[in-house]
């Protein structure tokens, strides 16, 4: 045989078999090439592995198309940089339905064909039915355990939503209970199937089957409420507003009852409830604004009171979670009319604290309800007028520097506000794009 040809053939067969082998290696198995591999083969293997990669089960050259490299960049992002986990939660079946369907399927299982002896046939049927019931119950529970994300891998914003809306530790506790139930079903199911398989008479096998079925059913009836709790958790989380991190977002912040939701209704498609009492808004609500053919998000948040973080209720903590974890621009609302129930001096203290903590967000200040404002600033009876310093006296009169006065009732200042919001969101868009291109740069390096 021609020497060059035989070497080529050797190269081809060896390299493709190497590829096939590495492709077929089960996950987690560390494939080591044979110790005394021909140097040319080692070289060849290197060429193949660096020049091709497996995409959807077939080899494609790594000379990236634009789309492929974008997908790669996205995939390269650590898990916690992505939001949207709640929309991917698996559908949970009510525990009653799981049990009903499992019992029905298990009871349909018949003995293996060709067993002539009645006792043997019955114990075979019994063991198979118990095994089937155990599997029909355990499989959906395993799916839930595997497909509900670990809280640690969630985006920090979604992690806060889980903690603040479900209660600290509740998510993990319910998932834990579901898994405990699965383990119990598996162990009790196996135990009863094995006992049934050892029956010496037809009658005994029937009794053991019935006992086993009852026991498994009883366990599932008693502890299956964990599955229903998980179903409710999934429902609650799926109903959470969807946030797109790549779309600029305006977040309305301020003390309770200052008019945040009224402004959200006016500026966006969001229709939050508006009432004359504090904490009308009890969660994070999203709306959308379309300005000059561009889409932006608006989020309404619960009001903040003057108090330390450790004393804040979960609604206030939700607002802080938005500011801490989402790249939003802020529309801070001040009510100096005395209507909202929080004194101007308290609003000033809350404002200074929030501004200090989140001052790196793009920001607009508005004084709301300007249809109610008089020349003379409002003082609450609880406030000491002599304690005002220059800064506070100025705030009482007109809010922070550069504040826009608006009224939802008379629409005064609203057109100007829309223009400023638009400018702010365009700047926010540029910030997001800038950040993204920096991240892409980092990934490439
Ligand atoms: N006169 C007047 N009333 C206003 C204006 N804006 C809001 N209000 C009233 O102020 C009250 C509170 O408004 P909301 O928009 O619910 O205030 P909020 O800040 O979202 O309140 P929470 O969600 O409880 O924090 C309602 O009774 C509104 O009708 C305004 O420009 N002028
Ligand atoms: Mg509100």
For residue range 315-372, what is the model confidence (pLDDT) as tens digits? Answer: 999 999 999 999 899 999 999 999 999 999 999 999 999 999 999 999 999 999 999 9
pLDDT of residue 304: 97
Task: Average the pLDDT over each of 40-49, 119-128, 340-349, 385-394 and give the range with the smallest value.
Answer: 40-49
CA distance 331 to 315: 18
How would you classify the pairing of strands 404-405 and 363-367? parallel
Ligand 2 centre distance from Cα of residue 334 (Å): 13
Ligand 2 centre distance from Cα of residue 27 (Å): 51
- Which of the ligands is closest to the CA of residue 302? 1
**CB contact set of 441 (below 8 Å; sequence gap of 6+):** none
Residue 175's pLDDT band (cuts 50, 70, 90): very high
pLDDT of residue 81: 60
Tokens linked to 71: 């997908």
pLDDT of residue 20: 30
Atom of ligand 1 nearest to the CA of 274: 16
Tokens linked to 346: 């308290």
φ/ψ of 324, rounded to 5, equals -75, -35
Question: Is residue 284 a contact partner of residue 301, using CB atoms and an 8 Å limit?
Answer: yes
Query: From the CB of 276, is ligand 1 less than 6 Å away?
Result: yes
Residue 44's pLDDT band (cuts 50, 70, 90): very low
- Which of the ligands is closest to the CA of residue 305? 1
pLDDT of residue 43: 36
Average pLDDT over residues 387-405: 93
Query: From the CB of 347, is ligand 1 less than 6 Å away?
Result: no
Take atom 7 of ligand 1 and give the residue whose Cα is closest. 259
Please identify which residue in the block is written with the tokens 């598996």: 186
DSSP H stretches of helix in 84-224? 95-107, 118-147, 156-166, 170-197, 202-223
Tokens linked to 125: 């049927």
Question: Is residue 39 a contact partner of residue 14, using CB atoms and an 8 Å limit?
Answer: no
Query: From the CB of 303, is ligand 1 less than 6 Å away?
Result: yes
Take atom 4 of ligand 1 and give the residue whose Cα is closest. 369
pLDDT in tens, 207-217: 999 999 999 99
Take atom 1 of ligand 1 and give the residue whose Cα is closest. 369
Query: From the CB of 257, is ligand 1 less than 6 Å away?
Result: yes
Residues counted in the chain? 445
Written in H, E and C, the secondary structure of 391-434 is: HHHHHHHHCCCCCEECCCCCCCCHHHHHHHHHHHHHHHHHHHHH
* pLDDT higher than 80, residue 71: no
Write the DSSP symbol of residue 56.
Answer: T
Predicted TM-score of the model (pTM): 0.77
Taking residue 22's Cβ as centre, other Cβ atoms within 10 Å add up to 14
Strands laid side by side in the 249-254 sheet: 285-291, 294-300, 249-254, 328-334, 363-367, 404-405
């Amino acid at each position: 045989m021609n020497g060059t040809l035989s070497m080529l053939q050797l190269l081809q067969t060896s390299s493709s078999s190497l590829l096939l082998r590495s492709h077929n290696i089960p996950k987690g198995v560390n494939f080591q090439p044979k110790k005394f591999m021909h140097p040319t083969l080692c070289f060849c293997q290197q060429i193949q592995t660096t020049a091709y990669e497996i995409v959807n089960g077939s080899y494609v050259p790594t000379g990236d198309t634009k789309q492929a490299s974008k997908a790669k960049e996205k995939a390269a992002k650590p898990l916690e940089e992505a939001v949207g986990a709640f929309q991917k939660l698996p559908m949970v079946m009510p525990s009653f339905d799981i049990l009903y369907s499992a019992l029905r399927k298990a009871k349909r299982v018949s003995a293996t064909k060709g067993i002539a002896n009645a006792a043997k046939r019955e114990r075979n049927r019994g063991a198979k039915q118990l095994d089937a019931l155990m599997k029909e119950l355990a499989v959906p529970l395993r799916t839930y355990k595997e497909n509900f994300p670990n809280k640690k891998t969630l985006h920090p914003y979604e992690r806060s939503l889980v903690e603040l809306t479900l209660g600290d530790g509740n998510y993990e506790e319910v998932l834990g209970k579901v898994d405990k139930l699965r383990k119990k079903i598996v162990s009790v199911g196996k135990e009863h199937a094995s006992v049934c398989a050892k029956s010496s008479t037809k009658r005994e096998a029937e009794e053991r089957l019935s006992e086993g079925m009852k026991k498994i059913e009883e366990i599932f009836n008693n502890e299956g409420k964990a599955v229903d709790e998980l179903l409710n958790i999934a429902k609650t989380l799926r109903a959470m507003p969807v946030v797109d991190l790549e779309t600029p977002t305006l977040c309305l912040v301020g003390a309770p009852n200052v008019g945040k939701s009224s402004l959200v209704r006016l500026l966006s498609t969001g229709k939050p409830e508006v009432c004359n009492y504090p904490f009308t808004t009890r969660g994070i609500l999203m709306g959308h604004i379309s300005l000059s053919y561009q889409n932006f998000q608006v989020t309404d948040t619960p009001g903040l009171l003057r108090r330390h973080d450790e004393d804040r209720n979960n609604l206030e903590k939700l607002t802080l979670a938005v500011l801490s974890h989402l790249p939003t621009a802020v529309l801070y609302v001040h009510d100096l009319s005395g209507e909202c129930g929080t004194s101007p001096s308290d609003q000033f203290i809350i404002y200074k604290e929030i501004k200090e903590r989140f001052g790196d967000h793009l920001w607009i200040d508005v004084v709301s309800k300007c249809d109610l404002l008089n020349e003379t600033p409002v003082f609450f009876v609880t406030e000491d007028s002599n304690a005002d310093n220059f800064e506070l006296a100025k705030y009482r009169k007109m809010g922070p520097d550069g504040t826009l006065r608006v009224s939802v009732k008379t629409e005064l200042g609203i057109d100007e506000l829309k223009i400023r919001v638009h400018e702010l969101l365009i700047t926010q868009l540029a910030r997001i794009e800038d950040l993204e291109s920096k991240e892409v740069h980092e990934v490439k390096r």
